[in-house]
Amino acid sequence: MHDLTRCVQHPEVPQAGFRSLAVPTYRASTIVYEDGESFAARGQRGFDGYTYGLHGTPTTRTLEAQLTELHQGVRTVLVPSGQMAVALVFLTFLLPGDHVLVPDSAYGPVRNICRDYLAPRGIGHTIYDPLIGAGIADLITERTRLVWVESPGSGTMEVQDVPAIARAAKARGVLVGCDNTWCTPLLFKPLAQGCDFAAEALTKYVGGHSDLLLGSVTVRDMALRQRMKEVLRSLGIGVSPDEVSLALRGIETMGLRLAHMGRVSEMFARRLQDHPLVEQVLHPCLPACPGHAVWARDIGGSGGVFSIVLQPGAEAALNPALTALRVFAIGASWGGTRSLIAPMAIRGERSARPWTRDGAVLRISIGLEQEDELWADLEGLLATLAAGRVPVPA
């Protein structure tokens, strides 16, 4: 064999006796075949087989299988982001003339895709009150093909009555999808509560280290998975095995991280509700949080994300207060090891359930820092806000 050939073709090495706890990162574009016959029949391998790197490697199949087991589904589809997980369901199952219901508390880009992409293509949408529960039945029309839920809601933390919504939708033959990122399958399993799709931004708790972008959709009906895979194949969308390998690493500690973050978030939420500068704490564990009774019935555990509504006038000193933080970082997303704070624009985004609070909203994501240092940083933030607060006329 010529040296140039040796540079290209790797020698086989024995693997007897080698066992690793780590999942290998299989990178591939081309998948090779043993003979011409198997290549010609590659289309018969289906979506569980291997035909081209874009459609999956053993690395991606491992994460898919792990998420499927956690969600008690039949298959999981991986996509490049959490937003793509939502968009994939919409793009696959909604056609011109159809209609989708979306909660007023949903992640902002979900509303954007309805307004900016679906509507120009003849697909209607209605924004509904996230606390509507079984009343969703009154909004379902003969055109409705999908009801989307997000529980708790982004920023404002309303907990939706997913079982009641799913029952109402199923009675009319309508599909139901749930953004389950806040809970993860460790706290809530949407498929077991009647949903057809459980979508998650793996970027957050599964990844756990703020260094990857990934999303997933888990289903309980193989036909739904087949249709989504066909769309992904047609659009040429796949995920990187390197991103998946980071998620496989992160998911191993997700249970411990989520338990710690949930405990600290609940502790801080209860402390903050008594602070004179805080008008309201939006955390599902608190009785005053919209949907608390549903949280206690269906979830009963907490993630690390919650929000606080400041007293009006406190926003005057918000920029210097945020800049002075020493432990918390200012940033979007959440679920990583670093604690984050981000101001939220709520009022202009609400329609079905208008936002009536005048004070600024801060979303807080608890990480893994020493909790006393986190609390001291929050106290410092609130002290700076209080010192710079502008009185608001009664």
Strand partners, 198: 178, 218
Residue 345, pLDDT score: 85
Identify the H or E element spanning 4. helix 3-8
Residue 394, pLDDT score: 59
Residue 12, pLDDT score: 86
Exposed / middle / buried, residue 185 (Cβ in 10 Å: 0-12, 13-18, 19+):
buried
Helix, strand, coil percent content, the chain, rounded in steps of 5: 40, 15, 45
Please tell me the pTM assigned to this model.
0.94
Find tokens 């299989």 and name the residue.
26
User: What are the CA-CA distances from residue 173 to residues 140, 141, 167, 336, 390 (Å)?
Assistant: 10, 11, 10, 38, 53
Per-residue pLDDT of the chain (394 residues; tens, 9 = 90+): 898 888 788 888 888 888 889 999 999 999 889 888 888 989 889 899 999 889 999 999 999 999 999 999 999 999 999 999 999 999 999 999 999 999 999 998 999 999 999 999 999 999 999 999 999 999 999 999 999 999 999 889 999 999 999 999 999 999 999 999 999 999 999 999 999 999 999 999 999 999 999 999 999 999 999 999 999 999 999 999 999 999 999 999 999 999 999 999 999 999 999 999 999 999 999 999 999 999 999 998 999 999 999 999 988 999 999 999 999 999 989 999 999 999 998 877 788 888 788 899 999 999 999 999 999 999 999 999 998 877 666 5
Contact between residue 98 and residue 123 where contact means Cβ atoms under 8 Å apart: yes
Residue 324, pLDDT score: 94
Q: How far apart, in whole angstroms, are the C-alpha atoms of residue 337 and residue 328?
A: 11
DSSP letter for 234, please: H
In terms of Cα–Cα distance, which of 391, 367, 371, 369 is closest to 379? Answer: 371
Q: Where are the alpha helices (DSSP H) in 202-240?
A: 222-235
What residues contact residue 288 under an 8 Å CB cut-off, 6+ apart?
A: 273, 280, 281
Contact between residue 103 and residue 157 where contact means Cβ atoms under 8 Å apart: no
Residue 3, pLDDT score: 81
Residue 244, pLDDT score: 97
DSSP letter for 143, please: T
What residues contact residue 65 under an 8 Å CB cut-off, 6+ apart?
A: 76
List the end-to-end C-alpha distance of the chain, in Å, as a whole number: 88
Delineate the domains of the chain, giving CATH numbers in brackets.
17-249 (3.40.640.10), 254-388 (3.90.1150.10)
Residue type present at position 129: D
Q: How far apart, in whole angstroms, are the C-alpha atoms of residue 56 and residue 45?
A: 12
Residue 393, pLDDT score: 62
Cis peptide before 152 (omega within 30 of 0): yes
